[in-house]
Amino acid sequence: MQEINIIEAVRQAMYEEMDRDDTVFILGEDIGVRGGVFLATDGFLESFGAGRVIDTPISESAIAGIALGAAMQGMRPIVEIEFADFMWPVFNQILGEAARIRYGTEGKLQAPLVLRAPYGGGIRGGLYHSQSPEAYFAHTPGLKVVAPATPFDAKGLLKAAIRDNDPVIFLEHKKTYRLVKGQVPTEEYTVPIGKADVKLEGEDITIVTYGLMLHHCVEAARIVKENNISVEVIDLRTLRPIDHKTLVTSVMKTGKVLIVHEDTQALGIGAEVSAILAEEVFDYLDAPIRRLAGPEVPAMPFSPTLEGEFMIVSQDIVNALAHLSEY
């Protein structure tokens, strides 16, 4: 085992897959000479050459279109979008085209591409470097959407995404890049897409979360344990498809659920989780399903004070758990 942070886990996953399979290549802005804005591809140009580590012009739609064309011809491109906030120009290429390739050709063509994007707030990024766009992509049939929260999951899920024959949106919370460390095997492994993980077992309340919020939820669960509230923490890991079985099994046991995500609440991932649970385990619920999410404002504020108000922290989750436990 080795202890590494999330950005190193991402770097290792890409490096190992490029070394294993010469159809894998990466493209994006500043990924070659500079090694990427977060240094995820540092040293790749020297190892794999300019033919497989391609610095592109500043045109996200062109980057995604080139990747899609290459994927349809049997290559396995990894696209880096510098910030998730810059993903809007790729919508037609990914939502309008890549997601429909298999369906539209009756399986004759496929689009095995990965689109990596740093997302989320808490880094003083303001309106244009802090967004959480997961719900836009998770709404789309034909796409898979992954949002790991630990180095183990980041490496294993990225390797699985690169090997997958369908397009995968791979979201990496930028605040976790160097903040979160964990044990990762030195030997080969993958983590299956579409499988949630129980990070902490409990009996009284289920928390469902993903990304940076996982770490706040685990901390909150340990705090309320001192008041004899036993919390089970589920990390979705994959946002499309959502793992119904793990959710249902947990909530049937606890009878109460709190869904936590940084993204705004309306029509978000929490709404879909709520619907799944309302449809499948309504008779087991001992309290209304509760969501805790970012405020309904257009984007993350620049002001540190206002950003602090936007971001959910452990105490917010503690308060929500205490209220739910008393219901």
Mark whether 37 and 176 lie in a shared domain. Answer: yes
Mark whether 243 and 171 lie in a shared domain. Answer: no
Residue 191 lies in a domain: no
Residue 122 lies in a domain: yes
Which helix (H) or strand (E) segment is 224 a member of? helix 213-225
CATH of the domain at 244: 3.40.50.920
pLDDT mean for each 10 residues of the chain (327 residues): 97 98 98 95 97 97 97 97 95 96 95 97 92 96 98 98 98 97 97 98 98 98 97 98 98 98 97 98 97 94 91 97 96
Cα three-residue angle 49-13-138, rounded to 5 degrees: 110
Cα three-residue angle 197-188-196, rounded to 5 degrees: 10
Please indicate whether residue 129 is annotated as part of the active site. Answer: yes
- The predicted pLDDT at position 110 comes to 96
Mark whether 81 and 205 lie in a shared domain. Answer: no
- The predicted pLDDT at position 216 comes to 98
User: Which residue range is the domain that position 313 belongs to?
Assistant: 197-325
- The predicted pLDDT at position 223 comes to 98
- Residues with Cβ < 8 Å from 249, sequence gap 6 or more? none
Query: Of 184, 211, 232, which marks where a domain is finished?
Result: 184
Mark whether 179 and 211 lie in a shared domain. Answer: no
- The predicted pLDDT at position 144 comes to 98
Mark whether 230 and 144 lie in a shared domain. Answer: no
Mark whether 61 and 151 lie in a shared domain. Answer: yes
Mark whether 171 and 205 lie in a shared domain. Answer: no
Mark whether 18 and 137 lie in a shared domain. Answer: yes
Residue 118 lies in a domain: yes
Helix (H, G, I), strand (E, B) or coil at 64: helix
Contact 300, 127 (CB under 8 A): yes
Helix (H, G, I), strand (E, B) or coil at 235: strand
Query: Of 151, 184, 217, which marks where a domain is finished?
Result: 184
Query: Of 149, 184, 219, which marks where a domain is finished?
Result: 184
Count of alpha carbons within 13 Å of 88, Cβ hemisphere only? 6
- The predicted pLDDT at position 276 comes to 98
Mark whether 21 and 69 lie in a shared domain. Answer: yes
Residue 152 lies in a domain: yes
| Token pair of 55 as six digits | 């610095």
- The predicted pLDDT at position 25 comes to 98
Contact 87, 81 (CB under 8 A): yes
Give the number of domains in the chain: 2
- The predicted pLDDT at position 87 comes to 95
Mark whether 216 and 177 lie in a shared domain. Answer: no
Mark whether 212 and 159 lie in a shared domain. Answer: no
CATH of the domain at 45: 3.40.50.970
Mark whether 252 and 230 lie in a shared domain. Answer: yes
Strand order in the sheet with 257-264: 197-200, 231-235, 205-209, 257-264, 290-294
Residue 192 lies in a domain: no
Residue 190 lies in a domain: no
From CA 6, how far away is CA 9, in angstroms rounded? 5
